[in-house]
Structure formats: C-alpha cells, structure tokens
Amino acid sequence: MNIDLKGHDVYLPSIESDLERELKLKKLMEERHPDIFKDGFPLYPHSYCSKCGYNPSFTISSEGIYTASTECIYKDGFPPIEVMLEVPSGEILLFNDFRRYYEVEDFIDINNISGIKQYTEHYAKQGMIIHFIGNTCASVVQVSDERLEIGYFECDTEETCEYDECSTSCPKFIKVNKIGSICTDLWWYCAVDKDTFEKRISKTVDQFQEEYHATGAWPEVIRAKVIPGTYRTVGQYHIDEKRLFSYIEKVK
C-alpha cells in the first residue's frame, strides 16, 4: 500500500488495515448516497500520530496513493519539553508521584508527545514538575549545586553488558555523584521546591515520607541541595531513551 503520511508517526500495519476497511466503506457510501458524497467519502483510519496526536483523514488518488489530509507539525522531530521551577528554599525534592496534592488533569491524552507536553505544562503552572521518563528506574545525578540529571550514567557502553547491573566491579563503571533512583511505577518523575511543597501539604517532608512508608510503599524522597533561584527543567525521553532523559539546571 502506497501511503504518504506527511510526517505523521503512526503504526503502519494498523493504518494499512484501517485504510482497507475505510476504502470498502467509502465505495459503499458513495454508491448508496452519490448526492451526499459527490465530493468523495473521507477516509478516517483510527490511527493517531504519536508526535502531534492528530488523527488525519486520507484521500486516495487515481494511482492508488493514500495521502494524509494534513502535515504533522512535528514532522522534523518534537523538541525537548521545557518548563520552569522556582526553588527559593535551595532544595529540590524528587519523587515518583506528588500529584495527589495538585489539581489532577484526567482529560489530556498522554499517549502522544503533544499530550505529554500539555500534561507537564498543566502541573508546572501549579509549581510541580512532572516529566515522562518511561519505566526506567532512572538514576538522579547531582552534577553541581546548579544542575541535576536524570537517566543512565554509570556505564560508558550502550551495548548489552554481562553484568546484571552497574557496579564498581564492572570495568566500564563510571563514578558519578548519584543521589538516588526514581521508582518509575508511574513512568514519570515529579520535582518540587521543598518549602513550597511543605507549605502546600501542611507537613514536613519527613512527615510525608513517614506516612508514605506506613502504607507499605518503599520509594524515598530524593533531596537535592542547590543554589536558590529559577531552574529550567527539560524532558527529552522522546529524544534520548538511552542516557539523559531529563535535567534540571539553574538559569537565574
């Protein structure tokens, strides 16, 4: 099947199957209702672009070429997702899931990168950072008192290693200032300013951690001492799934 997706990122076998079904419907509808569909019956496969989230319709030429109705606005690649975090306390808290203390948004489709961006921006407006990093159990590395990195860093190879996990006995081990790991049951990580968060939840971080552990959950809040200021947080798991998934750096 000859398909011009115009930059949309869709699962090809699925869209081929959908278009075959839609083509049969198109012929049937145009035969039964020629007055209504004199300009042709549109083809609407149920395949959404993983970048822009759009479900494009298609036209078919006399040569049998299927062409998407619109061009993907991110056909050249989706840029990193950037949002800001104010850190007046000089301490950033990173954790699996702080969402219960914020206004939850359930009507954003996070099965595409555009939706992930909207989801991140929704919480950033409330003072909480949330970036998608997949089910990675990523490490948090403190590069300096102005920069944190989230990803895989302890190994200098991207090939399959004979060791089950990075350790000092591995010849390819790289020593980094790892301050914790994110439990990614959620497939995201959250970050907040310590004082702002404690004021919001009306309890200390230690109290929050104690109550969380009392439920039988094990993840620890990662605490990073940094220079107070404004920080840019960047999510780029859709660009780099092997090493640097996200980072937080001071901009002023």
pTM of the model: 0.76
The answer to whether 232 and 82 have CB atoms below 8 angstroms apart is: yes
Q: Provide the pLDDT for residue 96.
A: 92
Residue 230 lies in a domain: yes
Residue 73 lies in a domain: no
The answer to whether 14 and 26 have CB atoms below 8 angstroms apart is: no
What are the φ and ψ backbone dihedral angles of 211, each rounded to 5 degrees?
Answer: -65, -35
Q: What are the pLDDT digits (tens) for 103-113? A: 987 778 888 88
Whether residues 108 and 175 share a domain: the answer is: yes
Q: Provide the pLDDT for residue 40.
A: 55
Strand, coil or helix: what is 182?
A: coil
Q: Provide the pLDDT for residue 143.
A: 92
Q: How far apart are CA 82 and CA 79, in angstroms?
A: 9
Whether residues 163 and 105 share a domain: the answer is: yes
Whether residues 17 and 39 share a domain: the answer is: yes
Whether residues 216 and 101 share a domain: the answer is: yes
150-177 average pLDDT score: 60
Please give the residue range of the domain that contains residue 26: 2-68
Whether residues 194 and 124 share a domain: the answer is: yes
Mean pLDDT, rounded, of the chain? 84
Residue 76 lies in a domain: no
- Strands 81-87 and 229-235, how do they pair? antiparallel
Task: From 35, 68, 101, give the residue that closes a domain.
Answer: 68
Q: What are the pLDDT digits (tens) for 3-49? A: 888 888 887 777 777 777 777 776 777 777 777 655 555 566 667 78
Cα–Cα nearest to 103, from 130, 126, 129, 84? 126
Residue 102 lies in a domain: yes
Residue 115 lies in a domain: yes
